[in-house]
Amino acid sequence: MCSMIYREIGKNREKVSAVGFGTGYHRPSDRGCSTLERSINSALDHGVNFIDTAPVYGDGLSETVLGGILKDLNRPKIFLASKVSPEDTTYSGVLKSVEDSLTRLQTDYLDLCQIHWPSTTVPLEDTTRALEKLVVDGKVRNIGVSNFMLSEIKDTINALEDNPLASIQTEYNFFERSIEKKLLPFCTKRDILLISYSPLSQGNMVNGERQRNLLDEIAQKYNATPGQIVLRWLINHSNVVVIPNTSKPHRAIENANAANISLLPEDIELLSHEMKTSIELVDTKDIRVSNDYSRKVYQTVEEAIENKMNMSPTPLELAEEMKKGNFLKPIRLKELEHKKENKSYDLVEGRLRYWAWVIANGWDKPIPSLTWKTGRQND
């Protein structure tokens, strides 16, 4: 039996499970043949009430498929979050985007609506004004942001007139811990919920054999899986919730049961100290951009500038931000087999940032990167 941990969010202090259910990497075909429904039901049966989605997830199908599942469930017991994409952040665009999400999700309201990425062209006040109208109309209960830098978060707080900023969604895991310096303390002090996406680093939870052996050792000590230890370490932070993705019912149960583990203080400290990866500067010409890690990727800088895939923010917009000294976070690389004097890497995450960096700085300036030396999949 799972004893779930719950956080409180927003001015109404609604309960949110510390382990949620993410749909960011699902590409379901339809409700009938997808295992998504069984996975969600398994998670709900084990104390999870937080489900996160977005209009762009699942190649644009996530909300529709999820709506077909949710209509048969007890909606008031579910904390449902979705997002507004950067291209929809005008006042009218926000209103339409949320209405469309509600239709696809077959619900009357979102418990949380987050701005998916900051817009470089639309005044933030236009976006927050629309979101606050949706709160008044009862169609949105809490307002949050995703992938915002700390300065942009502060601007959002100042732009909101009648509602607090309830949440910040960002990557946080053993591999990406840069938020611990400023963002996490800021959220803790302000009582803002921090939602960790990709908490298991897409299966590559640790970096190198030494870290892997340590994680295995601690997992064995608690009769748990390595993934459960990672999740439990993350939610040991009082205002952090995690939204791991899975399409497997047994994995959804395993994730939820991470809340049952009580890590000893010395193990929390050991993990905090040992599970770190240093930022490296990598030559952009040594990085291979491939489709192995994403179905949407530009292969050349010319394609990135043209932006036929309509990615938002665009590579050009991000490049302008980088020229101002703003860089969201390091890209993610996987080291390939190489001779000592000839290193090469696969680009795993951060394709927009990679091309924006090349556009802003040319090919000769190394790019800040986090590199997997070795990895093991969490299947």
Q: Are 143 and 133 contacting, i.e. CB atoms less than 8 angstroms apart?
A: no
Q: Are 37 and 26 contacting, i.e. CB atoms less than 8 angstroms apart?
A: no
Q: What is the mean pLDDT of residues 41-52?
A: 96
Residue 298: pLDDT band (50, 70, 90) is: confident
Please give the pLDDT value at position 3: 85
Q: Which two tokens stand for residue 370?
A: 């986090």
Please give the pLDDT value at position 287: 93
CA distance readout (Å), 173 to 102, 241, 280, 327, 334: 31, 12, 18, 19, 16
Residue 189: pLDDT band (50, 70, 90) is: very high
The Cα 6–Cα 3 span in angstroms is 10
pLDDT greater than 60 at residue 214: yes
For 106-142, letters b (16+ CB in 10 Å) and e give bbebbbbbbbbbbbeebebebbbebbbebbeeebbbb
pLDDT per position as a tens digit, 67-97: 999 988 999 999 999 999 989 999 999 999 9
pLDDT per position as a tens digit, 104-162: 999 999 999 999 999 888 999 999 999 999 999 999 999 999 999 899 999 999 999 99
Q: Do the domains spanning 6-274 and 280-372 agree at the CATH topology level?
A: no
pLDDT greater than 80 at residue 204: no
Please give the pLDDT value at position 126: 97
The Cα 170–Cα 173 span in angstroms is 10
The ranges assigned to domains in the chain are 6-274, 280-372
pLDDT greater than 70 at residue 375: no
pLDDT greater than 50 at residue 186: yes
**Active-site residue, from 6, 25, 57, 197:** 57
Residue 35: pLDDT band (50, 70, 90) is: confident
Q: At what angle do helices 36-45 and 62-70 cross, to 10 degrees?
A: 50
The hierarchical CATH code for the domain 6-274 is 3.20.20.100
The Cα 164–Cα 11 span in angstroms is 7
Handedness of CA 45, 225, 195, 57 (dihedral sign): negative
Burial of 265 (0-12, 13-18, 19+ CB in 10 A): exposed
213 Cβ contact list (under 8 Å, min separation 6): none
Residue 216: pLDDT band (50, 70, 90) is: very high
CA 364, chain centre distance (Å): 30
Residue 29: pLDDT band (50, 70, 90) is: low
The Cα 166–Cα 156 span in angstroms is 11
pLDDT greater than 50 at residue 58: yes
Please confirm, yes or no, whether 25 is among the known catalytic residues: no
pTM of the predicted protein model = 0.87
CATH tag for 280-372 (out of 3.30.1330, 3.30.310, 3.90.1530, 3.40.50) = 3.90.1530
Mean pLDDT over each residue of the chain, to the nearest integer: 90
Largest CA distance in the chain: 62
Angle subtended at Cα 254 by Cα 251 and Cα 260, rounded to the nearest 5 degrees: 165
pLDDT greater than 90 at residue 370: no
336 C-beta neighbours (distance < 10 Å), count: 11
